[in-house]
Structure 1
Amino acid sequence: MAITVSIELNRDIEIPGSYDEVFELLADVPRSASHFPKVDKLIDLGDNVYRWEMEKVGVDKHAIQSVYACRYAADKDAGKITWEPVRGEGNGVVKGAWVLRANGDNATSVKFQTSAELTVPLPGLLKLAISPVIKHEFNSLVDTYMNNLKKAF
């Protein structure tokens, strides 16, 4: 039996770097991902597609691992970096976007939006208990990621 947890996140941050520097970092998926906590592996599948394998959470047969793949596209003129899910890769479906806007010469306003569906092998009865835990963990990871990106500049 499995349950699916849906997560939607939006963040607005200001990064103390020029538009070009910030766009270059965020468009470079491996470099950007290096600032995301608890990534076990980021695998380049070619053609701007990356599979994210997060660290396992839990113990032995009760450990949960999020695995998903996305195809990335970057449009510097539009100030947008998007990711679309690649079906059939792992137990998650993730999509989202970065939207960047220069805020003077040395700062960039960044909007981050993502939505995810994670299917985990747990009995349906646990959905009410585990959904808030998974959502809290995902929020915490994204908040740490945002802070790490700011520190990169």
Structure 2
Amino acid sequence: MSFTTFVELNKTFEVAWSPEQVFELLSDVPKSVAHFPKVDKLVDLGENTYRWEMEKIGVQAYNIQTIYACKYLAYPGMKTVKWEPVKGVGNGVVSGSWKLEESDSGGTKVKFHTKGSLEIDLPFFLKAVVSPIVASEFEKLVDTYHKNLIETMSS
């Protein structure tokens, strides 16, 4: 038996780099993902589509590995990068976007939005305990990702 858990995040932060520099980094998926923690493998499926394979989390008999694929679409004129789910790959479905705009300080305001679902192959009675843990872990990973990006784009 399994269950599905859902997550949605909206985050905004500012960096010193220009919108063009930020766009160049975020639209290069492997370079951007290099800042994301606990990625076991990023597999290039061609046509700017990538499969994410995260490190397993959990203990002994109860562990979860998140796998999903997204197609990335970069719009330089709009300074936007979007990702759309590739259905039928792994146990997750993820979509989202980066939206960039020049900040008042001369750097870039970075707006991040993502939402996703994860099919978890554990007994249903664990849903009330596991779902909040999965959501919290995902948010921590995204916060670390953003911290790493901010550090890179602050120089």
TMscore range, shorter length: over 0.9
In structure 2, stretches of 5+ residues that fail to align are none
Shift of 1:104: 5.7
Q: Does residue 23 of structure 1 match 2:6?
A: no
After superposing on structure 2, the runs of 4+ consecutive aligned residues of structure 1 that deviate more than 6 Å are none
- 1:75 paired residue number: 75
Q: What percent identity do the matched residue pairs reach?
A: 51
Q: Deviations over 1:106-134 (max 9, x none)?
A: 51101000001000101111111111100
Superposed CA RMSD:
1.2
Q: Which moved further from structure 2: 99-108 or 76-85?
A: 99-108
- 1:49 paired residue number: 49
Number of matched residues? 153
Shift of 1:61: 3.3
CA contact (8 A) 2:20 2:79 kept: no
TM-score (ref. length: structure 2): 0.95
CA distance in 1, matches of 2:31, 2:144: 16
Amino acid at match of 2:137: E
- 1:115 paired residue number: 115
Shift of 1:17: 0.7
Q: Deviations over 1:54-84 (max 9, x none)?
A: 0000234322100000000000111110000
In structure 1, stretches of 5+ residues that fail to align are none
CA distance in 1, matches of 2:105, 2:34: 25
